[in-house]
Structure 1
Amino acid sequence: MNTVDPNLPLKPSEPKNVTVIGAGLAGLSASVTLARRGFSVTLIEKNAYLGGKIGAWPVRLSSGETQFVEHGFHAFFRHYHNLNAFLDSLGLRKNFRAIEDYAILGLKGQSFSFNGVAKTPLLNLLSMAKTGVYRFRDVFFHPKLVGLLAMLRFDPGKTFQRFDQLSYQDWADRLGLPPSMRLMFNSFSRAFFATPDRMSTAELLKSFHSFFLSHDGGLIYDYPTRDYQNTFLAPLQKELEKFRVKVLLSTPVEKIQKSPGGWQVLGRDYAYVVLAADAAASKRLLEASEGLEQADLLTRVSGLKASQGYAVLRLWTDRKLDAQLPGFVITEHRDVLDSVTFYHQIEETSRQWSQKTGGGIYELHCYALPDHLTSEAEI
């Protein structure tokens, strides 16, 4: 990771141009931040829309109405400090609201609610016992579960050295995790776009440390009450225009090339390149590029593995089907279903549509698709 040098100036002493490849949240925040600091920025995106995972595009319903859909529901946790600070600099969290509960539904009718769990680290682990996820006697009188202490001993170097080559599924089998505890961690694993057999135990421990033990924000998160087009993309587009960022959509980049003054992308020279694509696209791009043969970056990126694919299905129904549930629930994995979002409960545009028609809007989300499912029809 880069180390911040506070002695360096925030702005260049003379004009510098930079290109940002990838217009997801990382690329958008990099473009806005660099443009605010005086760089001449070109933002390049292969898709026809901005936003990546928070991208939105219009769909026309059978009724003739047009609504925006996205890649799936996103939770904005309180400990996303850098992201939240960036969103606040644009005033984008003004219409955010806290989810009423963080709930997991089991296939056998179990329901685990994390509303009311203590927020203070360590106390939150003790407090979780009342949710039913674990029982004290399971932990204190089960010899193998002493291995759970690894969660309290996370160290960036030692934890990865010991656990990175061990899948979470194998680790859970070794410890003999009780079914309810395994359900929680299975859901946690899949939320990071990996099935338990492909999830690094070190990554799971790192994420558990980040979400449970590194802050006092708790598991309750915030979410936007308007569609992503109006919440994020339109204001971000306006900010890009304000600082004269040049945006190239539907423009794939196949390679970059080292040049005397920096880098060449799509036939134009830039002093700097910010690569904000996903792991698979970054790997392909760098391996096809010239002048990187000796670069440590190429070696590190070549070792990255892409996550499993995900799928989202949004349904508009002629009646409401929901029970008394929060606007978003995690489900015990069954085939390809990991979560359900009740959009008519949480988003204003969807709520208005529901009130007008009497119907509901539901989003089914699979975080990690099985390898044998390769087409939309199969999914």
Structure 2
Amino acid sequence: MAYKTVVIILLVAVVATLLVGIPKSPRTITPANPDDPERLPEGVVKKVLIVGGGLAGMSAALDLAERGYQVTLREADSALGGVYLQSKPVQKLGQTFIVDRGMQAWFHNFHSAWELIHRLGVEDNFRRWEVHDVVYRKYEPERMYSHGIFPLNLAGMIFRSPNLNIMEILLWLRCAWDFINYNHDTNFKRWDSISFDEYMDMFDIHRGFYDIVLEPGMKASYQDKSTFSAAEMFLFSHMFYVSNPQADYRDIAKMNQATAIINPWADKLRSLDVKIEMGSSVDSLIFDKSGKIVTDSGHPKESYDHVILAAGLNSTKTIFRNSLQLLKDAKDRSTRDRLNKVLEKHLAKLPLAPPFKILTVWFDKRLQGDYNPAIVQTPSFQPITIITQCHMINEDYAQWANKSGGSVLAFQMFAWEHGKIPDDKLWNFVAPTVREIFPEIFQRGFKVLAYHVDGADTYPSYQKGLAKYRPTATFPKECGFPNLAFAGNWLHAKYPTALIERPIATGREAANQILLSDRVRQSPLIVTDSHGPGFFQYM
């Protein structure tokens, strides 16, 4: 009997492999100039201005400083880290807490991000987030995790689910075919013109698997789900589910993001003599007669050989508009025309996603019920997207909680659609929804001791139809700006990348453009393979 069982399992695995395919390992984009030296020659001075102190700017700065460049990094805000990893000190309850701008997961396929963590030697500041908890209004709570070889790991997720069964998955096969046979080279041409909701309706696809597995990931993308590009959804699923058995493996920081990675990163940059200027905004760029960028208007006496715009989308638009305004009376019409082309035909076409808010609340009690996950996604409980019990994962909050007996919960709310609600009214607004998820908070009369509201409205939109306007890191050079590169989360990459991986990877791309132009060996770039595991890639 045992022999027959083994044979059946092997046959199922063989058939599944033939249908689903074989996962592909990450690939390395090797340097285009492998024979060039690793650093600038002795005595050669090259200066680089990097605008923006988020992940993209810090990534580019590290690569260039290690190669011997003199780097100046200008950040308009008072803290590094940008939209993803910014942390700021907040005074609450008589002490200082370093409050993050939300919880960030570091996925297995964030190859550039993990390479950075290893370079900085901060691996011990992170730990595995093993189980993915999700609660729904219409379904039983899920505890998802991926174990085993592909495709048995996916089968295991289905068999463990209290909501999914094989019959429902069979109704979803049309959609699964497109995920398994993902092709990054053709993905946006095929699917960017429609939203994923429209894709589901077009093929009359059963929505159970989407509601249970895909929607939580999509909600964590900061986007409005009704307009979210089908191409972007296929990309997200490739990155976080399908590309390999470890795709959904993720880690989280044990402490605030500043302590975990941003401060060590900044210390490393300073040790390489990077000049970091905080509270230093760049309003416009100054060009020479040939159209090359010399400096920014706020520092006219300085000059740079290269410039990387690693600012957010709206800031980059503003810099281009102001630069164009400065050139309105200049005789160099060609520079004005090139600036206008980049601005009007590309940047101006790209909108922002809806804003997001994060409400951090200090309570006098802790949850003690049977359902008590440290992190839980809540895709059907608008406006809340993720709830994090900070004292269960963050050492700073844990120390306060152990001393006080209280707890700290962070409520992340992406794609905010409820207008301007005053910060002091936000808890009252979300409390009825929190009551549905964690009724114990209200049954046991938790007292709110303090709270803090953060958020941003600078995240780029990934709604349908935008891919054709989204530039690459090297796009400025292709438009006639030889010493300018872009970096950031709003760019298009020629390989699969998303969330915090995109700014880090495009920062390296921008640095590599400079290295190539100066005959210094580029850095290799490890990326997720552009193809899904299926054997029937669309050409």
Taking the aligned partners of 1:44 and 1:256, their CA distance within structure 2 comes to 13
Instruction: State the match for 1:257 in structure 2.
Output: 286
Taking the aligned partners of 1:94 and 1:58, their CA distance within structure 2 comes to 23
Larger mean CA deviation between 250-259 and 270-279 belongs to: 250-259
Q: Are residues 6 and 119 of structure 1, via their aligned partners in 2, closer, same or farther at CA, if it must alter by over 3 Å?
A: farther
Contact 1:151 1:205 in 2 (8 A): yes
Q: Secondary structure at the match of 1:94?
A: helix
Taking the aligned partners of 1:183 and 1:258, their CA distance within structure 2 comes to 52
Matched, 1:314 2:344: no
* Deviation per residue, 1:77-97 (Å, 9 max, x gap): 122111111121111222211
Tell me the matched-pair count.
373
Q: Are residues 322 and 68 of structure 1, via their aligned partners in 2, closer, same or farther at CA, if it must alter by over 3 Å?
A: farther
Shift of 1:313: 0.6
Larger mean CA deviation between 214-223 and 18-27 belongs to: 214-223
Contact 1:121 1:212 in 2 (8 A): no
Q: Secondary structure at the match of 2:76?
A: coil
Taking the aligned partners of 1:269 and 1:375, their CA distance within structure 2 comes to 45
Instruction: State the match for 2:186 in structure 1.
Output: 158
Select which of 36, 52, 55 maps to 2:86. 55
Matched, 1:280 2:314: yes
Taking the aligned partners of 2:117 and 2:336, their CA distance within structure 1 comes to 34
Taking the aligned partners of 2:148 and 2:354, their CA distance within structure 1 comes to 32
Shift of 1:327: 1.7
Select which of 84, 87, 96 maps to 2:126. 96
Shift of 1:3: 8.4
Matched, 1:6 2:18: no
Contact 1:133 1:180 in 2 (8 A): no
Shift of 1:159: 2.2
Instruction: State the match for 1:293 in structure 2.
Output: 337
Matched, 1:213 2:247: no
Matched, 1:171 2:218: no
Taking the aligned partners of 1:118 and 1:330, their CA distance within structure 2 comes to 20
Taking the aligned partners of 1:152 and 1:165, their CA distance within structure 2 comes to 20
Amino acid at match of 2:255: R
* Deviation per residue, 1:269-290 (Å, 9 max, x gap): 2111111122232233223324
Q: Are residues 353 and 185 of structure 1, via their aligned partners in 2, closer, same or farther at CA, if it must alter by over 3 Å?
A: same
Taking the aligned partners of 1:72 and 1:334, their CA distance within structure 2 comes to 18
Shift of 1:338: 0.4
Contact 1:172 1:182 in 2 (8 A): no
Amino acid at match of 1:263: V
Select which of 165, 177, 181 maps to 1:135. 165
Contact 2:132 2:143 in 1 (8 A): yes
Select which of 370, 376, 380 maps to 1:329. 376
Amino acid at match of 1:293: D
Taking the aligned partners of 2:294 and 2:245, their CA distance within structure 1 comes to 43
Amino acid at match of 2:398: R
Matched, 1:247 2:291: no
Amino acid at match of 1:6: N
Instruction: State the match for 2:265 in structure 1.
Output: 236
Q: Secondary structure at the match of 2:397?
A: helix
Q: Secondary structure at the match of 1:59?
A: strand
* Deviation per residue, 1:187-225 (Å, 9 max, x gap): 221211112112100000011112222233242311111
Taking the aligned partners of 1:72 and 1:99, their CA distance within structure 2 comes to 16
Shift of 1:132: 4.2
Shift of 1:349: 1.2
Instruction: State the match for 1:361 in structure 2.
Output: 408
Instruction: State the match for 1:148 in structure 2.
Output: 176
Larger Rg: 2
Larger mean CA deviation between 246-255 and 195-204 belongs to: 246-255
Taking the aligned partners of 1:288 and 1:240, their CA distance within structure 2 comes to 30
Select the structure with the greater relative contact order (CA < 8 A; seq sep ≥ 6): 2
Shift of 1:74: 0.5
What's the TM-score once normalised by structure 2's chain length?
0.65
Amino acid at match of 1:90: L
Taking the aligned partners of 2:194 and 2:166, their CA distance within structure 1 comes to 26
Q: Are residues 137 and 109 of structure 1, via their aligned partners in 2, closer, same or farther at CA, if it must alter by over 3 Å?
A: closer
Taking the aligned partners of 2:376 and 2:321, their CA distance within structure 1 comes to 40
Identity of aligned residues (%): 24
Stretches of structure 2 that go unaligned for 5 or more consecutive residues are 1-28, 325-334, 427-539
Cα RMSD (Å): 2.3
Taking the aligned partners of 1:149 and 1:109, their CA distance within structure 2 comes to 25
Instruction: State the match for 2:108 in structure 1.
Output: 78
Stretches of structure 1 that go unaligned for 5 or more consecutive residues are none
Contact 1:124 1:212 in 2 (8 A): no
Taking the aligned partners of 1:213 and 1:51, their CA distance within structure 2 comes to 29
Q: Are residues 262 and 9 of structure 1, via their aligned partners in 2, closer, same or farther at CA, if it must alter by over 3 Å?
A: farther
Contact 2:175 2:205 in 1 (8 A): no
Q: Are residues 366 and 322 of structure 1, via their aligned partners in 2, closer, same or farther at CA, if it must alter by over 3 Å?
A: farther
Matched, 1:270 2:301: no
* Deviation per residue, 1:125-165 (Å, 9 max, x gap): 3333122453221232x3x7524311122122432122101
Taking the aligned partners of 1:54 and 1:359, their CA distance within structure 2 comes to 26
Q: Secondary structure at the match of 2:411?
A: strand
Shift of 1:350: 1.0
* Deviation per residue, 1:224-277 (Å, 9 max, x gap): 112222212321232122112111111221222323564321323211111112
Q: Are residues 341 and 243 of structure 1, via their aligned partners in 2, closer, same or farther at CA, if it must alter by over 3 Å?
A: same
